[in-house]
Structure 1
Amino acid sequence: MSRRTVLPGAGTLGVLGGGQLGRMFVHAAQELGYRTVVLDPDPDSPAGLVAHRHLRCDYLDPQGLDELAGLCDAVTTEFENVPAEALARLARTLPVAPAAEAVAICQDRAREKAHFTACGVPCAPHAVIADEAQLQAVDPGLLPGILKTARLGYDGKGQVGVRTPEELAAAWDELQRVPCVLEKRLDLAFEVSVIVARNAQGELVHFPLQQNLHRDGILAVTSVPAPQVTPELQAQAVRAAEAVAASMGYVGVLCVEFFVLADGTLAANEMAPRPHNSGHYTLDACDVSQFGLQVRAMAGLPLPAPRLHSPAIMLNLLGDLWFRHGEAETTPPWDAVLALPGTHLHLYGKVSARRGRKMGHLNVTGASAAQVREVALRCSELLGLDPF
């Protein structure tokens, strides 16, 4: 499908998926005057509650997809597990960004690793395990390692640490013998990510490198500028992420996560074909957010190089905060948090809190990285979050 520019105030943009990323996309699109349509089966989806239209149907519902295509000038997705075939169906009649093939690569760890390798981007030594013969052929040098399901794994789900061939076999059984990737466990110093945006004209821009702290496989804290990163390492990570995006002919926002190893080298971990948790700070610390670039890329608008105007720390807010005092749900002390300078609270409009559920995030900005860290640590203390 050929692309045309959809000017602000003169078109309708659609999104598959109704979670918080879709909600923030809808807000960004509406700021530029676009009408918005969300397709998501959940009647209480955060994005559906704020869009102009909410199509409540399954992602593979032919009638729903055709209705979405008829309403919109372009469509995107807010999470990588939207079926690629839904994107392919939509692409028959209107521009879809990112394309189904790019999303399909990101949905499968084996294809993802192969794509990194083809781009010359280093990643962890690994082996694909899809049958008994491949299990028996695993190089013992990959142990100890982490066995990960090839598909549908996120936030630490579908992953099992293994140390011996026996544990590997047991873990594959535990994961129902679905296709998996075994990754060698590396000696990590810390983790970083790069968010890039690319439009159909080939313009490609990026945000600063983000340093990330995960807890239990879920992103907890993002710091920008990345405090432990050298200019050389940042340049290397940006080049790698841009190469990955360009080689797919990618259109949209792409996040590539990296491990920084103890010896100072980089290894690509995974990528997400959408805005990313680690880029939420851009809503308050940059002159254009990752969601603003998502809108511009899919609409065929120019992509300005984003500028970081304030140091920032992002704290991920999980549903556990609502249960600090027992099983009864209580509201966290937002008034005390918002009394501190440079605090920006973003709640996602989810109707109920659950432990482990992403309920919102808190951005802290300030004149210096030291000031931001001081305030963010005080916020963590008020909310009962672990210090960092």
Structure 2
Amino acid sequence: MSERRQPVLGILGGGQLARMLALAAAPLGGKTLVVDSSADACAGQVAPLVVADWTDYAALEAFAAQVDVVTFDFENVPAETAHWLAERVAVYPAPQALAVAQDRLAEKTLFRECGLPTPAFMTVDTREQLDQALATVGVPAILKTRRLGYDGKGQFRLTRQADADAAWAALGAQASKHGLILEAFVPFERELSVIAVRGRDGEFRIWPLTRNWHVDGVLSMSLAPAPDIEQLQRRASELARTLAERLDYVGVFALELFVKDGELLGNEMAPRVHNSGHWTIEGAYTSQFENHVRAVLGLPLGDTGARGLSAMLNWIGELPEPTAVLKTSDAHWHDYGKQARPGRKVGHATVCAADAVALAERLDALAAALTRQAQVQPTLDVLHS
């Protein structure tokens, strides 16, 4: 009997998402090969790592010859690199989806074409256009780079017209390189995200909606399934499916949403596994990482249902002492193997429970042990309401 060949998944980018993809691929019999420009990329601790720049086509040629399919760890891989690789090996999601998600103007235009409302927005390429956009969009508003911004980077919030000079001083140099966009500030009631997956055969599945809290533009905590969102769950599923089919998408993606007056507004799309979906590792029947691997390798998708309630806490800058987490019932610790650095995502923990009462008790005790009551208080308020 011939030996079954293990498929090889190539991953562009070597951060914690690639690390968790590699860990998810192994039980499925898949091997992984990671490309990153940094020799200390944390995915290299669990999978073979090729150190190369995105324009090192000789190295990428050798990489493509060793893998069966290529996917992404993050969306700032140049679309040109993705297109170049797609001529040599299967790339999922397709470079088209990557290109749309890299440009906030293209992204929000697509949202509207798919029936997903967005905050008002206008492109800004000059100082004069910023004044024109402010006159139309109004204040408060947020000036953003159209490309390369994430986790609150590349943004400037304007609370009054007089902030225009400071905003231009902060971001104006990016206008000629990547373009800028002015977006109306949304006084939202809740932040939600939908994590969805689409297979090569068009099969589509969605995890329960996740409620998120951010601090300084970086995800601090997620709660899933988000409470009291039955109608929004259906609407989010419809919108995510429409986007996935429009892009002929393969793999997992995240759609970040605002809730305003009971309606969904589109914020951003991430063409990859997502921070707000980390709870699925222990809290869902099939994690976002396993289902992404299944999708891009052409395997059947797994059940996306939740096992109960889950709360995910991000560790930013440095890891706390793990003892309190590990002593907590049904709590799970994830160390990304990164050096501590201000603003850097270095790990997370997920606490699971069968119901809101048990989850609140575990989080309350954990927050007290970690002296992080402020971080989990919004979630506790929701669980106790």
Q: Same fold (TM over 0.5)?
A: yes
Residue 257 of structure 1 aligns with an amino acid whose one-letter code is: E
- Higher mean C-alpha deviation, range 117-126 or range 299-308: 299-308
Matched, 1:118 2:105: no
Gap change, CA 1:207 and 1:190, over 3 Å in 2: same
Aligned to 1:311: 309
Give the match for residue 292 of structure 2: 294
The residue number in structure 2 matching 1:174 is 170
| 1:40 aligned partner | 36
Alpha-carbon distance in 2 for matches of 1:339, 1:174: 45
User: What is the rounded CA distance, in whole Å, between the counterparts of 2:118 and 2:137 in structure 1?
Assistant: 16
- Partner letter of residue 82 of structure 2? L
State the partner residue of 2:381. Answer: none
Distance in structure 2 (CA, Å) of the matches to 1:64 and 1:74: 16
Cα distance, 1:35 vs structure 2: 1.5
Equivalent of residue 50 in structure 1, options 46, 50, 71: 46
> Deviating runs (4+, > 6 A) in structure 1?
none
The 1-side partners of 2:169 and 2:246 are apart by 36
Q: 1:27 aligns with which of 23, 28, 34?
A: 23
Kept in 1, the 8 Å contact 2:285–2:303? The answer is no
Instruction: Give the CA deviation at 1:369.
Output: 2.1
Q: Distance in 2 between matches of 1:372 and 1:42?
A: 39
Secondary structure of the residue aligned to 2:201 is: coil
Aligned mate of 2:346, from 348, 352, 359: 359
- Tell me which amino acid in the other structure corresponds to 2:329: P
Quick check: 2:325–2:332 contact (8 Å CA) kept in 1? no
Residues 31-51 of structure 1, C-alpha deviations (whole Å, 9 max, x = no match):
111121000121111111211
Aligned to 1:3: none
Cα displacement (A) at 1:333: 2.6
Within 5 Å, give how 1:139-218 maps onto structure 2. Answer: 139-177=135-173, 178=175, 179-218=179-218
Structure 1 residue 91, shift from structure 2 partner? 0.5
Q: Which amino acid aligns with 2:9?
A: L
Aligned to 1:18: 14
Flag the 1:81–1:8 CA change in 2: closer, same or farther, 3 A.
farther
Q: Aligned partners of 1:65, 1:377: CA distance in 2, in Å?
A: 48
Deviations 1:262-299 (A, max 9, x none): x2111010010000010000000111100001101110
In the alignment, the residues of structure 2 paired with residue 220 and residue 9 of structure 1 have an alpha-carbon distance, to the nearest angstrom, of 41
In the alignment, what sits opposite 2:60? 65
What residue identity is the alignment partner of 1:285?
G
DSSP 3-state at the match of 1:156: coil
Tell me, yes or no, if structure 1 residue 135 matches structure 2 residue 134: no
Structure with greater proportional helix content:
2
Using the alignment, how far apart are the partners of 2:110 and 2:164 within structure 1?
A: 25
Structure 1 residue identity aligned to 2:86: A
| Counterpart for residue 83 of structure 2 | 88
* Change in 2 beyond 3 A, CA 1:304/1:340: closer
Q: Is the 8 A contact 2:17 2:273 kept in 1?
A: yes
Structure 1 residue 140, shift from structure 2 partner: 3.8
In structure 1, what is the Cα distance between the partners aligned to 2:4 and 2:295? 12
| Alpha-carbon contact 1:8-1:34 (below 8 Å) kept | no
Q: Quick one: distance in 1 between partners of 2:215 and 2:87?
A: 41
Q: Any conservation in 2 of the 1:140–1:165 contact (CA below 8 Å)?
A: no
Q: % of aligned pairs identical? A: 42
Tell whether the 8 Å contact from 2:137 to 2:183 is kept in structure 1 after alignment: no
Distance in 2 (alpha carbons) for counterparts of 1:202 and 1:133 = 45
The TM-score normalised by the length of structure 1 is 0.91
* Aligned AA (1:359): V
Distance 1:347 1:195 in 2: 22
- Cα deviation for residue 320 of structure 1 reads 4.1
Unaligned runs of 5+ in 1: 1-6, 322-331
Q: Could you report, residue by residue, the CA deviation over 1:23-79 in whole angstroms, capped at 9, with x for unpaired residues?
A: 00011111111121000121111111211x211111221011111110000010010
Higher deviation after alignment, 133-142 or 284-293: 133-142
Distance 1:236 1:207 in 2: 13
1:28 partner amino acid: A
1:267 to 265, 270, 274: 265
Structure 2 counterpart of 1:250, one-letter code? Y
Secondary structure of residue in 2 paired with 1:191: strand
Compared CA separation, residues 274 and 167, structure 1 to 2 (3 A): same
Per the alignment, residue 327 of structure 1 pairs with none
RMSD over aligned Cα, in angstroms? 1.6
**What is the SS of the residue equivalent to 1:292?**
helix
Provide the C-alpha distance between the structure 1 equivalents of 2:190 and 2:4, rounded to a whole number of angstroms: 40
Letter matched to residue 144 of structure 2 = K
| Greater displacement, 276-285 / 332-341 | 332-341
Aligned pair in 2 of structure 1 residues 357, 125: CA closer, same or farther (>3 Å)? same
How far apart, in 1, do the equivalents of 2:205 and 2:226 lie? 18
Worse-superposed segment, 20-29 or 372-381: 372-381
Query: In the alignment, does 2:344 pair up with 1:344?
Result: no
* C-alpha contact 1:110 1:181 (8 A) present in aligned 2: yes
Q: Is the 8 A contact 1:199 1:252 kept in 2?
A: yes
Q: Which moved more, 1:35-44 or 1:8-17?
A: 8-17
- 1:105 and 2:100 correspond: yes
Deviation for aligned residue 1:84: 1.0
* Alpha-carbon contact 2:13-2:73 (below 8 Å) kept: yes
- 2:277 corresponds in structure 1 to 279
Q: Distance in 2 between matches of 1:233 and 1:11?
A: 38
| Equivalent position amino acid for 1:76 in 2 | T
